[in-house]
Each structure stands twice: as structure tokens, then as C-alpha cells.
Amino acid sequence: MVRVRFAPSPTGIPHIGNTRTAFFNYLFAKHNKGEFILRIEDTDKKRIVKGAEEAILEILEWLGIKYDGKLIRQSDRLDLYKKYVQELLDKKIAHKKEGAVWIKVPEDKKFEWIDKVGQKKISFAGKDVDEFVILKSDGYPTYHLANIVDDHLMEITHVIRGEEWISSTPKHLYLYESFDWEPPQFAHLPVILGTDRSKLSKRHGAQSILDYREKGYLKEALLNYMAMLGWNLGSDREIFSMDELIKLFELKDVNTANPIFDVKKLEWLNGVWIRSIAEQDIK
């Protein structure tokens, strides 16, 4: 069975980029009659923003992106991570330094995977992977460790996330190998850019999803627009409802090009959905 997860860190109010990641995971899960898990990755205490977790939950609920099972919070699972860190220390794969536990990937290793976005082969040499921390001196695991322990224990089959995580993937593959676990499939979504092709920001009209809601955007328009940010069937069709997207969504139709966020397009779609819903109400 397909099982995917959305694994946000509560470090801010979700914007269109991370919400699109949640949505693509959801569409993929529902299309394949699988499960969509929500896991709050809150092990980096310094970066946690008050209210961020509530905002994540509110946005998913408003958009109708429902998660399966119970909400998981990594801060509730600290003992579990420590057990796995100890296993790597015992196997002499990890070492202690300055109160933290580190991993150095052997230089002669090679890591390779076929990314589900574009079916492209991505490879890294061990010598290019930085030494990294798996357990901090405060007893909290890092993202790398907690993320792969949970993906393994939760039987995640596909990791669908932003392409900014590609450089972390060789570290994760090394951890899977060290534990003797089967890695999931990876699909790295191209980062959304603004109309000037720079990293998307408020300057381009991008806002938190809650801001869009407040301004009167319909969830139907936001969902429809998010689908267009990287997914397309190769036809001119632009209007899709949530149900239609669930029927149609496949990873093979996710593009390798960076999608461009254009607030005018979102406004146009919002108009289309407002009219369509008004017509349905009259009927």
C-alpha cells in the first residue's frame, strides 16, 4: 500500500510552497488508495514558532487535506530516536564529538537514486557529503535521524518533498544502509519561483495560506492553482476540482521545470471558481 507523509517543521505559517507539498502528497495517496500521514517535525527547538503548528492544522483542515490516523509529533518520541542513535554508536558508524553524535560518510561510498520527478538519476559521492550531526548535545535528534527513523517505522513508501532536500538524501540513504533498511522512493518537487525567476517571496504577491483565506480566496481556487504549480497533463485544460485531481494525479505528470507563481493567474482562477459556485447555487 502507498503511504506518504507531510512532515512540516513548525517554523512559520505555511505558504504556498509547503502547502503544495502537502497537497501533492495527499493527491498521490488518495489516487493510489493509500494513506497520508501528518508528522510534525519539531526537534529543532530554537526554530519553533509559536502558533505554527496550529496554523498548519488549520490550513489543512480548511483546504480539506485530511490526514489519516493520529497526528504524530516527533518531540513525543525522543526515547525512540536515542535507541537508534545508540545502535549506530555500537556499530561504530556514528561517533561522539563535543557532546553531540556525528556521522561521517565513508569517502568511497556512492549514492544513487532515480527520482520520481522526471525519472532522473541523481548521484552523490561519499566524499561530497558533509559530516553531520544525528543527536544534538541537548538530547534532541536532528532532522536527518528522526526523519528516516520515522519514515521507516511508519512504512513510508514515497517521500515527496521540495527539491531543497536533495542534498540531504545521500545522508538519508547512508542511514538506511547503516540500519539495513529499505529506503523509500524519492520525488523532489521543483521549487516555485516568482515571475522574475527568483525565489518566491512576499514581493511576488505570495502570502501565507491563511492570508489568502482572509482576503476571500476560495479554497477551490487555491487547490486548483497549487496543482498547476508543477503538475500538468500535457493538455490545455486548467480547471480541476479536488475530486478530479485525485482521479488524475500521477507523479509522472510532475514537471522538472521550476513552476512560476503568478498571482494574476490565481486571481483569474478565483474568479472562475466564484462564478462556477454561484451558478451551482442558482441551479
Catalytic residue list: 202
Q: How far is the CB of 233 from ligand GLU (least distance, A)?
A: 25
Q: How far is the CB of 159 from ligand GLU (least distance, A)?
A: 6
| Cβ neighbours for 79, distance < 8 A, ≥ 6 positions apart | none
Q: How far is the CB of 106 from ligand GLU (least distance, A)?
A: 23
Q: Is residue 72 involved in binding ligand GLU (CB under 6 A)?
A: no
The separation between CA 46 and the C-alpha centre of its own chain, rounded to angstroms, equals 21
What are φ and ψ of residue 208, in 5° steps?
A: -70, 155
Pick from 154, 148, 151: nearest CA to 178: 148
Q: Which residue has the cell 521543483?
A: 190
* 35/41 with CB nearer ligand GLU: 41
Pick from 121, 108, 223: nearest CA to 166: 121
Give the interface segment with ligand GLU, choosing from 1-9, 122-130, 181-189, 258-266 (CB under 6 A): 1-9
The separation between CA 5 and the C-alpha centre of its own chain, rounded to angstroms, equals 8
Distance between CA atoms of residues 110 and 97, nearest Å: 25
Q: Is residue 25 involved in binding ligand GLU (CB under 6 A)?
A: no
Residue pair 46/9 in contact by the 8 Å Cβ criterion: no
Q: Is residue 170 involved in binding ligand GLU (CB under 6 A)?
A: no
Q: Is residue 165 involved in binding ligand GLU (CB under 6 A)?
A: yes
Q: Is residue 150 involved in binding ligand GLU (CB under 6 A)?
A: no
Contact code string over 119-148 relative to ligand GLU, x by CB under 6 A: ------------------------x---x-
* 148/228 with CB nearer ligand GLU: 148
Q: Is residue 74 involved in binding ligand GLU (CB under 6 A)?
A: no
Q: How far is the CB of 215 from ligand GLU (least distance, A)?
A: 26
Residue pair 106/177 in contact by the 8 Å Cβ criterion: no
C-alpha separations of 108 from 90, 144, 185 in Å: 22, 21, 23
Give the interface segment with ligand GLU, choosing from 4-12, 45-53, 122-130, 243-251 (CB under 6 A): 4-12
Name the strand (E) or helix (H) holding 115. strand 110-115
Q: Is residue 161 involved in binding ligand GLU (CB under 6 A)?
A: yes
Q: Residue 182 is placed in which grid cell?
A: 529499505
Q: Is residue 8 involved in binding ligand GLU (CB under 6 A)?
A: yes
Name the site residues for ligand GLU (rule: CB under 6 A): 7-9, 41, 143, 147, 161, 165
